[in-house]
């Protein structure tokens, strides 16, 4: 994979530290794992455009947090895609949820688009190309490989990241296996036993010198939701997250944790956010927001907004600055999830009616629900 | 841009610009430096700067005690190596005492005595290390104690800010008695919602210098990663000149091998 990508972009340079520190290059072939700069290993989030925004995907050994919107279940879309992507690569998965039946939730995971529809892939490729071009000027060489992922590997079932058809459930045989564990958060007597379960899961994925055998995914949905019964245990919960993060650092796993920030005391929700390596938040679109419909093009397809607050920085002190902070969550052809930068709709009386990237300047005419 | 290596705006603001030229006296003479950051902008690069300044070469007579609660050794090692400072060598030469406390959790976290015992152990370790550095055969000039970050210590103690504060008081005492300097990272926004005295207000009172890393008000930028505000409390008490109580403010951009500091609008 690495060698294939090297030829396609002239700005990509093989990073010597990657091969010398992380093991032999042959180990990069582990299913669904991609190498990046600073000895980083990425797994896909299940949304190719989100991978592109984050600079390659979710970092192995990092903790990803998604701040839920109390009014809409958009975080479930992200979690579903993330889990389905892992199952396609037959990566171990631990799913802890506060829902009544986690197994039933896993039955709703989307299946990959069998034949990539030309319009869907071309638009994502267009976005990726735009990013790639811009990044090349900044010598962000690591954007090279993920630019190729949606373009070059289409049709291959084991590609790094797939597009998913949200209307079609994942094949049943992918949901069966010893590598999949699911549990209800309420079934654990306390957070310590949940942590023990996570640590036991991660200990099977220990980092070793021979490279990565397998990358594991932990998904914890709505950890601090009232039904979990941890509401009076603020310090225990935060210490659970900290311990989970410490365990992740020493293993080949990614944990995605979604939480409703509104039920936490404000100072604790900030503490949670500090503990996250990658922090995303989702928010719903108000129905029939006429102002917004006029301002943003493609408003009809949008299901919500995704904000990138923080991108993981492991082994580096340089922060990853995404193109924009707010992206729109769109359902392409009503079935596959894509993220797009907000495009301003043409202004009827303005001189520059072109679709400016809203990341450049935050217009004062924007409604307060979309601040950059 | 005149901010040439090794002296830059941050060193100027801290008053260590002249000292940075001579390797022996490169450690900041501040006793207690508090670094504050927030969710959007990490202040970790300031800590890396201090580690690099404290360990300029392998023959240095400085020593660093690093209490790492946020990241593991390999992270710091890789980051500092790109800055030109090899932590592994310093650790082997007993210039760096790296305490990886990623999994530090005082038993149960609720019992008063457990917490106390845990902190006493931790402080005891630091004190012994400082004393061994101060011993005549080691001849270490200054010892820098870094804590990354103190809010995680609070979590490890199960939310007992009093214990953390006690621990810090002991560390501050160490700075005056044993001529150490203490550098602590904390998160400002964690405490902004809490009324009344918090751990942060105590820390700000104790600190000689406060370095605050914030994002730009205008939003995210690839060229400017944020702004630093530096408040020098020692300077204001000693100088009777015009710079009393003046906070210095400039922008920064973090790069792999250095950090650019510049005044707003003067980006080269």
DSSP state string for B225-265: -EEEEEEEHHHHHH--SS-TTPPEEEEEEE-SS-EEEE-TT
What local confidence, expressed as pLDDT, does residue A234 receive?
A: 86
Q: In this predicted structure, which of A79-83, A119-123, A206-210 has the lowest mean pLDDT?
A: A119-123
Average pLDDT, chain B: 83
Which residues of B touch chain A, with CB atoms under 8 Å apart? 39-42, 44-45, 48, 71-72, 74-75, 78-79, 82, 102-103, 105, 109, 151-152, 155-156, 158-159, 187, 189-194, 218-222, 225, 254-256
Of A38, A267, A279, the CB nearest to B78: A38
Residue A363 has pLDDT above 60, yes or no: no
Most confident of the following: A62-66, A220-224, B50-54: A62-66
Band the pLDDT of A6: cuts 50, 70, 90. very low
> Greater confidence, B174 or B15?
B174
**Cβ–Cβ below 8 Å for A313 and B42:** yes
What local confidence, expressed as pLDDT, does residue B29 receive?
A: 58
**Cβ–Cβ below 8 Å for B255 and A318:** yes
**Cβ–Cβ below 8 Å for B193 and A265:** yes
Per-residue model confidence as pLDDT tens digits over A260-283? 988 888 889 999 999 999 999 999
Q: In this predicted structure, which of A68-77, A202-211, A297-306, B132-141 has the lowest mean pLDDT?
A: A202-211
> Which chain A residues are Cβ-neighbours of B41 within 8 angstroms?
319
Put the strands of the sheet holding A63-67 in their side by side order: A180-184, A93-97, A216-221, A253-259, A63-67, A278-284, A302-310, A326-332, A336-341
Q: Which two tokens stand for residue A227?
A: 């039904």
Interface of A with B in 329-348 (CB under 8 A): none
What local confidence, expressed as pLDDT, does residue B225 receive?
A: 92
Alpha-carbon torsion, ordered B216, B221, B223, B227, to 10 deg? 10
Q: CA triplet A129, A125, A161: central angle to 5 degrees?
A: 115
Distance from CA of B190 to the nearest CA of A (A): 5
Per-residue model confidence as pLDDT tens digits over B184-228? 999 999 988 888 788 999 999 999 899 999 998 887 788 899 999
CA dist., res. A252 & res. A255, Å (int): 10
CA dist., res. A148 & res. A12, Å (int): 12
Q: Which two tokens stand for residue A301?
A: 């397809």
What local confidence, expressed as pLDDT, does residue A296 receive?
A: 82
Of B41, B78, B190, the CB nearest to A315: B78
Nearest chain B residue to A371 by CA distance is: B219
**Cβ–Cβ below 8 Å for A266 and B255:** no
| Among A1, A63, A65, A66, CA closest to A36 | A1
What local confidence, expressed as pLDDT, does residue A327 receive?
A: 92
Please check whether residue A323 touches B, CB under 8 A. no
First vs last C-alpha separation in chain B: 6
Nearest chain A residue to B45 by CA distance is: A317
Distance from CA of B262 to the nearest CA of A (A): 17
CATH of A2-339, one of 3.10.20.30, 1.10.150.130, 3.40.50.12160, 3.40.50.300: 3.40.50.300
CA dist., res. A68 & res. A91, Å (int): 25
Examine residue A80 and say whether the peptide bond preceding it is cis (omega within 30 degrees of 0): no
CA dist., res. B143 & res. B150, Å (int): 19
What local confidence, expressed as pLDDT, does residue A295 receive?
A: 82
Residue spans of the domains in chain B: they are: 27-220
Residue spans of the domains in chain A: they are: 2-339
Residue range A125-131: mean pLDDT, rounded:
50
What local confidence, expressed as pLDDT, does residue B214 receive?
A: 92
Q: How many angstroms from the chain centroid is the CA of residue A306?
A: 11
What local confidence, expressed as pLDDT, does residue A50 receive?
A: 93
Q: What is the DSSP string of A58-109?
A: EETT-EEEEEPBTTB-HHHHHHHHHHHHHHHTT--EEEEESSS-HHHHHTTP
CA dist., res. A188 & res. A194, Å (int): 6
Cβ atoms of B38 and B213 within 8 Å: the answer is yes
Test the B interface: residue of A61, A236, A317, A370 with most B CBs within 10 Å:
A317
Report ipTM (2 d.p.): 0.87
Q: What is the DSSP string of A217-240?
A: EEEEE-TT-GGGS-TT-HHHHHHH
CA dist., res. A22 & res. A99, Å (int): 39
Band the pLDDT of B111: cuts 50, 70, 90. low
| Among A252, A191, A344, A247, CA closest to A27 | A252
> Which chain B residues are Cβ-neighbours of A55 within 8 angstroms?
none
Residue B7 has pLDDT above 70, yes or no: no
Band the pLDDT of A68: cuts 50, 70, 90. very high
Per-residue model confidence as pLDDT tens digits over A98-127? 888 888 888 889 998 865 444 444 444 455
Q: According to the CATH classification, is domain B27-220 in 3.40.50.300? A: yes
Band the pLDDT of B5: cuts 50, 70, 90. very low
Buried/exposed A211-249: b ≥16 CB within 10 Å, e otherwise: bbebbbbbbbbbbbbeebebeeebbbbbbbbbbbbbbbb
> Greater confidence, B133 or B28?
B133
> Which chain B residues are Cβ-neighbours of A239 within 8 angstroms?
105, 109, 155-156, 158
Of B39, B82, B158, the CB nearest to A310: B39
């Amino acid at each position: 994979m690495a060698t294939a990508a090297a030829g396609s972009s002239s700005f990509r340079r093989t990073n010597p530290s990657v091969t010398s520190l992380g093991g032999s290059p042959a180990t990069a072939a582990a299913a669904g794992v991609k190498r990046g700069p600073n000895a980083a290993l990425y797994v896909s989030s299940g949304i190719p455009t989100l991978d592109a925004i984050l600079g390659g995907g979710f970092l192995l050994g990092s903790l990803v947090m998604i701040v839920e919107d109390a009014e809409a279940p958009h975080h479930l879309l992200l979690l579903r895609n993330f889990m389905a992507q892992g199952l396609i690569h037959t990566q171990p998965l631990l799913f802890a949820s506060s829902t009544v039946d986690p197994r039933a939730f896993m039955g709703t995971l989307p299946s990959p688009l069998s034949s990539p529809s030309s319009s869907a892939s071309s638009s994502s490729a267009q976005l990726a190309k735009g990013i790639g071009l811009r990044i090349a000027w900044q010598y962000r060489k690591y954007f090279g490989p993920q630019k190729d992922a949606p373009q070059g590997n289409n049709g291959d079932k084991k590609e790094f990241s797939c597009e998913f058809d949200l209307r079609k459930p994942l094949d049943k045989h992918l949901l069966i296996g010893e590598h999949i564990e699911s549990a209800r958060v309420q079934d654990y007597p306390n957070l310590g036993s949940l942590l023990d379960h996570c640590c036991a899961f991660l200990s099977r994925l220990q980092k070793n010198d021979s490279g990565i055998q397998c990358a594991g995914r932990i998904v914890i949905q709505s950890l601090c939701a009232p039904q979990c019964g941890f509401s009076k245990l603020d310090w225990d919960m935060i210490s659970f997250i900290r311990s989970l993060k410490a365990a992740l650092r020493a293993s080949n796993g990614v944990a995605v944790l979604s939480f409703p920030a509104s039920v936490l005391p404000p100072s604790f929700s900030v503490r949670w956010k500090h503990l996250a390596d990658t922090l995303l938040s989702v928010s719903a679109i108000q129905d029939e927001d006429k102002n917004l419909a006029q301002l943003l093009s493609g408003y009809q397809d949008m299901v919500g907004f995704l904000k990138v607050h923080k991108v993981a920085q492991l082994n580096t002190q340089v922060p990853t600055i995404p193109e924009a902070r707010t992206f729109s969550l769109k359902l392409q052809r009503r079935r596959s999830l894509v993220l797009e930068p907000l495009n301003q709709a043409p202004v009827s009386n303005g001189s520059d009616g072109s679709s400016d990237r809203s990341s450049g300047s935050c217009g004062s005419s924007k409604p307060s629900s979309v601040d950059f | 841009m005149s901010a040439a290596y090794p002296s830059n705006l941050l060193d100027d603001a801290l008053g260590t610009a002249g000292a940075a030229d001579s390797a022996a006296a490169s450690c900041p003479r501040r006793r207690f430096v508090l670094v504050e950051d927030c969710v959007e902008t990490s202040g970790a690069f300031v800590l890396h700067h201090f580690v690099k300044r404290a360990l300029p070469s392998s023959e240095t007579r400085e020593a660093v005690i690093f209490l790492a609660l946020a990241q593991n050794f390999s992270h710091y090692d890789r980051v500092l190596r790109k800055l030109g400072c090899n932590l592994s060598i310093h650790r082997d030469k007993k210039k760096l005492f790296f305490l990886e406390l990623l999994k530090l959790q005082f038993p149960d976290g609720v019992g008063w005595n457990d917490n106390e015992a845990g902190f006493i152990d931790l402080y005891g370790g630091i004190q012994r290390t400082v004393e061994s550095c101060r011993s005549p055969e080691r001849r270490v000039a200054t010892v820098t104690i870094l804590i990354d970050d103190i809010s995680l210590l609070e979590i490890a103690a199960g939310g007992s800010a009093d214990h953390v504060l006690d621990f810090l008081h002991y560390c501050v005492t160490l700075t005056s008695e044993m001529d150490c300097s203490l550098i602590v990272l904390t998160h400002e926004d964690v405490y902004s919602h809490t009324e009344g005295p918090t751990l942060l207000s105590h820390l700000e009172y104790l600190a000689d210098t406060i370095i605050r890393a914030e994002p730009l008000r205008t939003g995210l930028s690839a060229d400017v990663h944020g702004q630093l505000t530096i408040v020098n409390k020692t300077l204001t008490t000693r100088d009777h000149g015009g710079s009393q109580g003046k906070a210095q403010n400039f922008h920064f951009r973090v790069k792999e091998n250095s950090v650019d500091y510049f005044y707003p609008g003067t980006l080269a």
